[in-house]
Amino acid sequence: MLTLYHQERSPDATSNDRDETPETVVREVHALTPAPEDNSRTMTATLPPPPAFRGYFSPPRSATTMSEGENFTTISREFNALVIAGSSMENNELMTRDVTQREDERQDELMRIHEDTDHEEETNPLAIVPDQYPGSGLDPGSDNGPGQSRVGSTVQRVKREEVEAKITAWQTAKLAKINNRFKREDAVINGWFNEQVNKANSWMKKIERKLEERKAKAMEKTQNNVAKAQRKAEERRATAEAKRGTEVAKVVEVANLMRALGRPPAKRSFFSFS
């Protein structure tokens, strides 16, 4: 059988070599402290092979085995340190969670103080809110812890919210009342305006009816007056025409008489009368 360095090797030697090969050490890793190593196994893992077979093992292979053991020991120590750090962090988180839960329960108890006490409900939105948490205010001169400061700020915030809610409700009620009053007044003003418009239109229609009647009467009177004047004009025209005819006939008669006598018309004297 050929070895790494091309040397012949018997099967017996091979079997002996397999029997004398160092065993692989498997250790259990614990969370806190590593288990003590067995000195016999450690010595077995680090002892060199017998002198008869030293030639068959190359130096690089033995050096690699020793470095792997040292690396495994270092990794085991680092892993143990990581496990210990993780367990300590978990314990710290549990303690912090417990402290936070206790603080929240304490705040809830402080917020529930005087909650079951029956008080008369205040209906006035401008009423002064009584202090329901005596002694919880922040005193600049006193040395209060962070828990008491947080509780005091929470109480003050609740008071401010309550006062703000009352002020908002009062403002909303007042604005609604003002708006309703304005709507009523606006409805009254619109009704009065419509009444005045209807009244003015009625008066205008009445005047128009009266004007129509007066216009009709005036038209009738005008027509009567025109007819009367026309009759009078006709009469006067007839009278004048008759008078003209009479005078023309008289002049013609005198002219015929003068022609018959052959006498010219005489000049009018001062004493002549027609």
User: Is 42 part of any domain?
Assistant: yes
269 has a pLDDT exceeding 60: no
Residue 185's pLDDT is: 95
The whole-model pTM stands at 0.31
Residue 152's pLDDT is: 77
CA 96 vs CA 99, 103, 127: distances in Å: 5, 10, 43
Tell me which residue range forms the domain holding 86. Answer: 11-108
Task: Tell me the CA end-to-end span of the chain in Å, nearest whole number.
Answer: 204
Q: How confident is the model at residue 55 (pLDDT cuts 50, 70, 90)?
A: very low
User: Is 26 part of any domain?
Assistant: yes
Residue 208's pLDDT is: 94
User: Is 49 part of any domain?
Assistant: yes
**Region 250-263: what's the mean pLDDT?**
89
User: Is 180 part of any domain?
Assistant: no
User: Is 77 part of any domain?
Assistant: yes
Residue 98's pLDDT is: 75
Residue 121's pLDDT is: 52
User: Is 62 part of any domain?
Assistant: yes
User: Is 51 part of any domain?
Assistant: yes
247 has a pLDDT exceeding 70: yes
User: Is 264 part of any domain?
Assistant: no
Number of Cβ atoms within 10 Å of the Cβ of 151:
20
Residue 190's pLDDT is: 96
Residue 102's pLDDT is: 77
pLDDT in tens, 72-127: 566 667 777 777 766 666 666 777 777 777 777 777 776 666 444 444 555 555 55
pLDDT in tens, 44-53: 444 555 544 4
Number of domains comprising the chain: 1
Q: How confident is the model at residue 54 (pLDDT cuts 50, 70, 90)?
A: very low
